[in-house]
Amino acid sequence: MAKVIIFSGAGISAESGISTFRDTGGLWEEYDIKDVCTAGCLETNRDMTIEFYNKGRVALKDKQPNKTHYEIKKLQDKYPNDIKIITQNVDDLFEKAGCQKVLHLHGFITEINCEQCGYIQDIGYKPIQSHTICPNCKNFLRPNIVFFGEPVPKYRELFKEIDDCEIFVIIGSSGNVINTDFLLSVSDVKYSILNNLEYSNAINDKLYTKVIYRKATEAIDEIVADIIKYLQNVQ
Ligand code: NAD
């Protein structure tokens, strides 16, 4: 297990032009989360849900990783066994930056899957039809995304990783979807860094060793320097 967890949310991709929940002008402004991102919406609102993820997938094609993704890739290259990247994001910017074994807790937008037989296909940046059929079991395929209210099987892996980690770094997450204070409380983390643009009501920032309210691209050099200093001292 890795000594360092880099745990990210929508804010890490904001500087690449992918909007967070609260940003204006993004896809989230055109759609209501309850219509397209809630358990059951494929049954009650299939066409709009498929369209929403189609738009997100197509738009992702031209989006590029930013300095934060690239600095994390360099850090992972330097310490391949010590750095675990865990993200709530469904975009592929870590992968485009060259990062390895990224744990996507809430799914991956370039994939479609079959809930019935477990079939998964990476379709890149292409849109799909509302009623695309699974080649194995003829069920309808869906975006490989976890909607609010659905089980999140990858949380088991998250908790395993958290159990052994010594440094916990949060970049660009408001703590509303996953409570990062709770993750900290169930771990034996020795050093924690919280980097967001601003204070969030869902996070008690007094719990974190270091708090940086700045753009991730402006904070990442300090974050990487802290991690390297820690790893050099323990190795
Ligand atoms: P959130 O939208 O609730 O919060 C975003 C956080 O990022 C805020 O705390 C904000 O201060 C911070 N932030 C914004 N710009 C930043 C920047 N440039 N540098 C550093 N921090 C910045 O995001 P969340 O906590 O990830 O929860 C939202 C959920 O929505 C997640 O489940 C996520 O999967 C999903 N989502 C994903 C994407 C994506 O894949 N890129 C985009 C939007 C939403």
Q: Domain extents for the chain?
A: 4-16+64-106+152-234, 27-61+113-145
* Mean pLDDT, residues 131-153 taken together: 96
SS3 percent helix, strand, coil of the chain, rounded to 5, is 35, 20, 45
pLDDT band for position 135 (cuts 50, 70, 90):
very high
Q: Which amino acid is at 97?
A: A
Distance 165 CA to ligand 1 centre (A): 23
Output the residue whose Cα is nearest ligand 1's atom 16. 11
Architecture of domain 4-16+64-106+152-234: 3-Layer(aba) Sandwich (3.40)
Output the residue whose Cα is nearest ligand 1's atom 26. 9
Q: Is the pLDDT of residue 30 over 90?
A: no
User: pTM to 2 decimals?
Assistant: 0.96
* Mean pLDDT, residues 89-116 taken together: 98
The SS3 call for residue 108 is strand
Distance 224 CA to ligand 1 centre (A): 20
User: Interior CA angle at 72 toward 224 and 177, to 5°?
Assistant: 100
Distance 134 CA to ligand 1 centre (A): 32
Per-residue pLDDT, 82? 97
Active site residue 106: yes
pLDDT band for position 164 (cuts 50, 70, 90):
confident
Which backbone phi and psi does 208 adopt, to 5 degrees? Answer: -100, 145
- Residue 21 beta carbon below 6 angstroms from any ligand 1 atom: yes
Q: Is the pLDDT of residue 26 over 90?
A: no
| Alpha-carbon dihedral 5, 167, 153, 93, rounded to 10 degrees | -20
Distance 12 CA to ligand 1 centre (A): 7
Mutate to test the pocket of ligand 1, among 20, 87, 102, 177 (most ligand atoms within 8 A of CB): 20
- Residue 13 beta carbon below 6 angstroms from any ligand 1 atom: yes
Burial status of residue 136 (CB atoms within 10 A of its CB: 0-12, 13-18, 19 or more)? exposed
For 92-99, the CB contacts below 8 A with 24+ separation are 92/60, 93/12, 93/13, 93/16, 93/18, 93/63, 93/64, 93/65, 93/66, 93/69, 94/65, 94/69, 96/64, 96/65, 96/69, 97/65, 97/69, 97/70, 97/72, 97/73, 98/73, 99/69, 99/72, 99/73
Q: Token pair of 185, please?
A: 């409380």
Q: Token pair of 123, please?
A: 């379709």
